[in-house]
Structure 1
Amino acid sequence: MGSVWKRLQRVNKRAAKFQFTVSYHQLTLETTSKWKPNKLSVVWTRRTRRVITDPLPWEPTMKDPLKGVVVWAIPENKEVSVTLFKDSRTQELEDKDWTFVVEDVASTGKKRQLAAAPVNMKKYASIESTQSQLKISLRPTSKKIVGATLECTLSCVFLREGKATDEDMQSMASLMSVNNNGDIATLEDFDEEDEFEEISQQQSLKEVLDLTTQIDLLTNSISESEFASTPMSGK
């Protein structure tokens, strides 16, 4: 049912598809005195889509043993294709968040989410190829973490433009995961003392609000005449 609402919501809209490439340089992680990570990986995710780096060891610094770094001597590149939709009223690209998540990978293979930060891909989308240097402060999602910072380069290449309902503009992963909690790690990824229940409740509330917004937009769309298509503008 969710995929139907998504398709109806996109009627009369334009869309642009972009190829984003992130190049990881350094991850800084500060822990409490009671725990230290094993190996760390960075997950670039939206719903069920997950692009993961190879786990690398966390090395404490000489000045502060509670603050350590993961350094990519050779930057690790990861790519995602992102479809951004144009608001038919403002003719501007709509927001779309992809989230960077830091995970600890234990020697047993168990993964634990430590910190996360959303990045609005609209801010870095451009008709002309661009490259942006990012220093992202991530919000701790575990009480074992004091703070985390990710340094990376984000590149954007414009692929094509078309109607939002065109087959080559559809993201099947997005359509199939409307009610999927893939943005939130599974229960075993958290420590027992972490605030998983609160995060889950916030996510459920967000989904209800999103569905209400979709219904409102559909109602407005039915009552309005079809919007004239206009060329996609740059940033």
Structure 2
Amino acid sequence: MSSVWRKLQHQHKLATKFRFTAQFRELLLQCCQKWQPSNVSICWTHRKRRCSTKLRKWEPTITDPYSGLIIWPSKDAEILDIVTTLYRDTRRDTFDDKEWCFIVEEVTMTGKHKPIASVKINMRLFINEVPGVLTELKLRLKPLRDELEQCVLHLVLSCLVIKEGNALDEDMRSVASLISVQGLNQDTVENGVASDDISCKVATENLPEAKTISYKELMYATAPVEKPQSPSATPKVKRRSCCSHLLKPFLPFRMSL
């Protein structure tokens, strides 16, 4: 039902497909004495779409044993790419809001991902149609557990226009709207596989051939069928002329006229 509502909202709108690239530089985690993470990863998500970085080991600094700084060198940079569709009205130049979320997750020894901090960014604010322009961001994430005091993410964001067209075109629709909640495997979400690599296939080999019927035939087919009653079950009604006993006193008067 939500996909139908989004499709109605995108009517009479223009769609532009963008490719956003995030290159991570630093991640600062200020913890406490009770808890420090062992391994962390960064996830970039929107609804059922998700892509994440490799595991990074958290190590405390020399000055503060509860503060850890993860640095990605330029030679071994961690890059995440997403392809998303933004919509705008034909009478306006600005795109509609669309939020993606950066989530810092703790990865346990059993491989379970637990979110510890998150921040939402509006992708329309970072649109730049000039190729090669980089936007440097320093985001302060909201802690999701009490033991985490501070989380700061430093990254560089770039944007590239892929295609423009009508919002209702099949190739312009967002991947998240094409994948239903029931059709998405939960293991895919847990393993951090990007939904851009997922293709929805419909098996049509064993489907019966479609038959076209008219509106009259459809109404006849869906009309309720009344069950005929047996003669014994039908009550006998004594028929008589309507109000004939009331008209008898007035018959002579009417004949005299």
Change (3 A) 1:178 1:134: farther
1:82 equivalent among 59, 81, 84 = 84
- Equivalenced residue count is 181
Unaligned runs of 5+ in 2: 183-188, 190-257
Shift of 1:89: 5.0
Alignment of 1:172-191 (within 5 A): 172-176=175-179
Bigger RCO (CA 8 Å, 6+ sep): 1
TM-score by length of 2: 0.66
Unaligned runs of 5+ in 1: 180-185, 187-235
Task: Decide which moves more: 151-160 or 83-92.
Answer: 83-92
Bigger radius of gyration? 2
Contact 1:3 1:176 in 2 (8 A): no
The whole-number CA distance in structure 2 between the counterparts of 1:7 and 1:172 is 13
Q: Do structure 1's residue 138 and structure 2's residue 159 form an aligned pair? A: no
More strand by share: 1
Contact 1:47 1:174 in 2 (8 A): no
Matched letter for residue 170 of structure 2 = E
DSSP 3-state at the match of 1:36? coil
DSSP 3-state at the match of 1:59? coil
Alignment of 1:138-177 (within 5 A): 138-176=141-179
Identical-residue share of aligned pairs (%)? 39
The whole-number CA distance in structure 1 between the counterparts of 2:143 and 2:180 is 25
Alignment of 1:1-235 (within 5 A): 1-73=1-73, 74-88=76-90, 90-129=92-131, 130-176=133-179
The whole-number CA distance in structure 1 between the counterparts of 2:136 and 2:66 is 26
CA RMSD of aligned residues (A): 2.0
The whole-number CA distance in structure 2 between the counterparts of 1:164 and 1:60 is 48
Match of 1:202 in 2: none
Contact 2:14 2:165 in 1 (8 A): yes
Contact 1:15 1:86 in 2 (8 A): yes
Shift of 1:148: 0.3
